[in-house]
Amino acid sequence: MSATVQREITPFRRFAADYASNKIAVVALIGVVIIVFLALFANLIAPQNPYDLAQLDIMDGRLPPGAKSPAGWTYWLGTDDQGRDMFSGILYGLRISLGVGFGSAATAGVIGSALGLIAAYAGGWVETAIMRLVDLQLSFPAILVALMILAFLGKGVMNVMLALVIVEWARYARTARAAALVERRREYVEAAECLALPQWRVLFRHILPNCMPPLIVIGAIQVASAILLEATLSFLGLGVPITEPSLGLLIANGYQYMLSGKYWISFYPGLALLVTIVCLNLVADQLRDVLNPRLQR
């Protein structure tokens, strides 16, 4: 019993120490934690619910950062053309962006990994069918596929998530299959098969845990790319409804005011998006370095 505890803790400690060796990655991780916290508790932190039309007043539209609201508090980041507080808008926008990003990456991860493992373990025509589907999927640019799906399904957060899942699952499948092909020739798999364990148990309890490191790295990268893709779709007017803007739509709303000097409507949501993506990518990079045995020092 004590042996198991020791085996579970020691790798984690080693992992934490490896991760902490890069100070920038630690700062990025703290940044991600803060951003997730802000997004989760947006409704408590934000001074205004930017999605409630009753709380907006068109007469407060396009106020510069630091202007006072009629209720007495300050629009620290200004307002957009509908009189929406930009700070509140960014917090709620982050919530949508992170929700869509993590939600679609996790869903795509489960579906893609399962299909990849099945392909590797089953082989034969099953493998051929799944992997050719993956090839087909990856041969189209992600943004094109997402645009087609949304043009067909219409707008909405759930439709954006669905489009992102359809776009993203193939990468997980390919990664999971590659890792599983290596693992399934290992002795511990042979041992498990000799014990006549059911196939699903060998696959998901024995092979899958050993394939996790590359999948975690892919997942971290995919969260960032999903957030970017959602922002792109919303910027093009195909993502979220106009009364519930995400970061991409906030940027699009301010875009036409850039020439007239009202920079804050686009700039701050853009900055929030930039910081989020950079932090997530730094974390993903460090995870890849730490979890990749070939790069281990």
Contacts with other proteins by CB under 8 A lie at: 53-54, 56-59, 61-62, 81-83, 154-155, 237, 241-243, 256-257, 259-261
167 Cβ neighbours under 8 A, 6+ residues apart: 108, 137, 142, 145, 146, 149, 229
Nearer to other proteins, 128 or 256 (CB): 256
Apex CA 144: angle with CA 138 and CA 148, to 5°?
115
Separation CA 169–CA 134 (nearest Å): 8
Which of residues 44 and 59 has its CB atom nearest to other proteins in the complex?
59
Q: Name the minimum Å distance from CB 259 to other proteins.
A: 6
For other proteins, the closer of residues 56 and 192 by Cβ is 56
Give the nearer residue to other proteins in terms of CB position, either 45 or 258: 258
For residues 176 and 213, is the Cβ–Cβ distance under 8 A?
no
Q: How far is the CB of 46 from other proteins (least distance, A)?
A: 18
Q: Could you tell me where the DSSP H helices lie in the chain?
A: 2-20, 23-40, 42-45, 86-122, 124-138, 142-153, 157-183, 187-194, 199-201, 208-235, 247-255, 264-291
In the complex, what is the shortest distance from the CB of residue 80 to other proteins, in angstroms, rounded to a whole number? 10
CA separation (Å) from 96 to 19, 107, 230, 254? 29, 16, 9, 18
* Closer residue to other proteins in complex, CB, 76/255: 255
Q: How far is the CB of 43 from other proteins (least distance, A)?
A: 19
Chain centroid offset of residue 84 CA? 26
Q: How far is the CB of 61 from other proteins (least distance, A)?
A: 5
Q: How far is the CB of 182 from other proteins (least distance, A)?
A: 48
Residue 123 or 237 having the CB closest to other proteins: 237
Q: Please count the CA atoms within 13 angstroms of the CA of 180 that sit on its side-chain side.
A: 28
Question: Of 242 and 274, which has the nearer Cβ to other proteins?
Answer: 242
Q: How far is the CB of 260 from other proteins (least distance, A)?
A: 4
Q: What is the pairing mode between strands 74-75 and 67-68?
A: antiparallel
